[in-house]
Amino acid sequence: MTGKILLIHHGTAFLTSALINSLKNAGILAELVEPDLDDVLKWEEGADVFLYFAEGDDYLPADLLLWLKEECATGKRHFCVLGYTKEVAEVEEIVSKDAIKCTFLRPIDVKTITEQLCTLYRAQEKRKRKKSILLVDDDATFLRIMEIWLSKKYDVTAVKSGTQAVAFLSSHTPDLILLDYDMPVTSGPQVLKIIRNEPKSASIPVMFLTGKNDRRSVMSVMSLKPDGYLLKPSGKEPILAAIDDFIAKTYEE
């Protein structure tokens, strides 16, 4: 067991106790925490799924809900909500409906909740067994194409700027970074410098994936020691073959 489900609820109730036992019987660890951001931050490490129990408009912790929205935005973790229709709608006003992976509307039985949570949890466990790749490119169309190409074999996170990449790396360690060269604000070479200067990210392999193929551009980043330099015009098969080969050689068991 490598992960857990965090149940966010004020106090202990029959439903939370029954759900914890039901998930335990399914081989999944579930922990109960108060709907307070500081408390959640103490227990969130290792959580793959967060189930927030909506308690009505008497208590809506906006800071916690917005943290959950942001934390689960990449799909690496899932944010779920349980409550009556009115209570769920109040949560959606703060975080938006799209931010919620799964909604459980009361009245609902423990078996149904357990089955759906187990499905989400197992999918996350399967995802974590894949090697992870961070794609960094300001070209949204190319980013989407690469996601489609790679997602069947790898756990892919795509960001549109160097700033977003640096923010992501502050709390994640992908197995490989595919980095565009020419980006506004923070260029690929600048991002690579930041990565190499941070102890936490310094050892992460970085390959440039770019259309910049002139000698000056290539030579300007060689001193930063990237782990590869792939050209976008190469096409799907050569790009995927190079990535597969690098992953296989770097992480061969």
Percent of the residues in the chain that have a pLDDT greater than 70, as a whole number: 97
Helix (H) or strand (E) holding 179: strand 176-179
- Model confidence pLDDT, tens digit, residues 168-206: 998 889 999 999 988 888 888 899 999 999 988 999 999
d(CA 133, CA 154): 7
d(CA 157, CA 75): 9
43-53 burial, b for 16+ CB within 10 Å, e for fewer?
A: ebeebbbbbbb
User: Is the dihedral angle over the CA atoms 98, 108, 53, 27 positive or is it negative?
Assistant: negative
d(CA 53, CA 15): 10
pLDDT for res 130:
82
Widest pairwise Cα distance in the chain: 67
Contact at 8 Å (CB) between 138 and 160? yes
**At which residue do the structure tokens 């912790």 appear?**
61
User: Is the dihedral angle over the CA atoms 105, 108, 110, 115 positive or is it negative?
Assistant: negative
**At which residue do the structure tokens 């335990």 appear?**
24
- Model confidence pLDDT, tens digit, residues 32-88: 999 999 999 999 998 999 999 998 656 789 999 999 999 998 788 999 999 999 999
The CA distances from residue 70 to 98, 107, 137, 248, 253, in Å, are 12, 28, 20, 32, 34
Q: In this structure, what token pair is assigned to residue 137?
A: 């490119």
Q: In this structure, what token pair is assigned to residue 219?
A: 């030579």
- Model confidence pLDDT, tens digit, residues 84-93: 999 999 999 9
d(CA 75, CA 117): 15
Q: Cα 36 vs. chain centroid, distance in angstroms?
A: 22
Q: What is the pTM of this model?
A: 0.59
